[in-house]
Each structure stands twice: as structure tokens, then as C-alpha cells.
Amino acid sequence: EENLANVAPRYKDDSEPMGYYRVLGQIRDMLPRDAIISSEGASTMDIGRTVLPNFYARHRLDAATYGTMGVGLGQAIAAAVVNPDKKVVCVEGDSAFGFSGMEVETACRYNLPITFIIINNNGIGGGPDELDPKNVPPSAYTPNARYERVIEAFGGKGYFVTKVAELEPALKEALADPKPNIVNIMIDAQSQRKPQEFAWLTR
């Protein structure tokens, strides 16, 4: 209860650019109860484990203990093939999406009911809002990359979300669509998870 109370304000924080908890909280509130979730990406997956609920066994797939990147889209495709009547939602960090993003072509080719949600912070663990050509961190990606356009090349629908007011409408339309789509959501490049405090770790 104390932990829930601690993060509750973050779910309603409408400051822009948005943070992880605001975005994941909105996804949580809109997911079908029997949705199958595939997820990967360091903070996206870790925070998602605490925010996105599971109500049924074998309805969550992620990068597991060793955090193997690149598995999210393949897992989502497999889940959609095995469960054609359920909504599959693949929640990815932008770095994780980069490992196997072209698999959206497979989803489009077979017309699979997958919503790919990319939580985009401009890099591996967060990048700058703008790139200085003279000082580009090795973990930085092109700011505001339009990943949703990848799926549009194969006939899917893409959504680019930068503001709180755009978040719910985009998710509502995407989750209701039986065809594959991408929702590319920009968040604060410096957004972080809630500090972890464990007696065995901090005392």
C-alpha cells in the first residue's frame, strides 16, 4: 500500500514531456482484461512489470531474467498466431524495438491483431532532446524518431504521440483496431523509475 501511494501521483502527472508512469498507467487503464502482453526494454519492461497487470496465466511475455533484447516482437507475433481472438500488445522501449523492429512486416503480412507501443526516450536508457553533432553520446538515437512510419510502409496504421491530450485517443483507436499498428509515444528523455529502496540493499 505504501508503494502504491508513492507512485500514484506519477500516474496522473500531466507534465510534458510525459514520464514512464503516466504513459504506462494510461495503457494499464485501457488494456482488455485478457490481453496478452509482450514487453522488453530496460526501464520500459521493469516499470511495466509493476504497472501492467496480469489476470490470467501465460498472458505476459518479456525478456526475462537476463534481459535478452530483440525477443518482444517475435513473442507478440507467436502469441497472436496461437491466440487469434485475443488482443496482443507489445510494449517496447525504442532501443528494444531497434533489435527486431522489421518484424512488423510479418505482423502486417499475416494481418495479426497486434498493437506495438514504443515508449521512446531518444536512446538507450535515455538520450538528449537535440543532438549536438560535436558531442553525440554513444547511447543517443535520432531525437523524435518516427518509428510508427515503419509499419505504414507495410500497410499498417501508425500514431505519433507527443502530448498528454493525444495519448488516450491514440491508444483507444489502436487497441480497437484488429489490424497491426504502432503507437510511438515520446517521453521525457530523463524519465526514470521510482528509486528502489530495499532494507537489504540500502541499510
Which grid coordinates belong to 202? 540500502
- Average pLDDT on 9-34 reads 94
Q: Which amino acid is at 112?
A: L
- The confidence score (pLDDT) of residue 53 equals 92
- Average pLDDT on 37-61 reads 93
- Average pLDDT on 92-112 reads 97
pLDDT-based confidence at residue 192 (cuts at 50, 70, 90): low
Count of structural domains within the chain: 1
With the C-alpha atoms ordered 118, 43, 6, 128, is the resulting torsion angle positive or negative?
negative
Classified as helix, coil or strand, 93 is: strand
* Residue 9 vs residue 1, higher pLDDT: 9
Task: Mention every residue, 6+ apart, whose C-beta is less than 8 A from residue 90.
Answer: 37, 38, 39, 72, 73, 75, 76, 114, 115, 116, 117
Distance (Å, whole) CA 97 – CA 71: 9
pLDDT-based confidence at residue 200 (cuts at 50, 70, 90): low
Q: Which CATH number fits the domain that encloses residue 63?
A: 3.40.50.970
- The confidence score (pLDDT) of residue 153 equals 98
Distance (Å, whole) CA 49 – CA 173: 24
The DSSP secondary structure of 148-193, one letter per residue, reads HHHHHTTT-EEEEE-SHHHHHHHHHHHHH-SS-EEEEEEB-TT--P
pLDDT-based confidence at residue 199 (cuts at 50, 70, 90): low
Helix axes 42-51, 20-30, angle to 10 degrees: 50
Which grid coordinates belong to 134? 560535436
For residue range 135-155, list pLDDT tens digits in order. Answer: 878 888 988 999 999 999 999
Classified as helix, coil or strand, 119 is: strand
Distance (Å, whole) CA 9 – CA 4: 9
* Structural domain for 23, as ranges: 2-131+138-202
For residue range 66-99, list pLDDT tens digits in order. Answer: 888 999 999 999 999 999 999 999 999 999 999 9
- The confidence score (pLDDT) of residue 44 equals 92
Distance (Å, whole) CA 193 – CA 60: 20
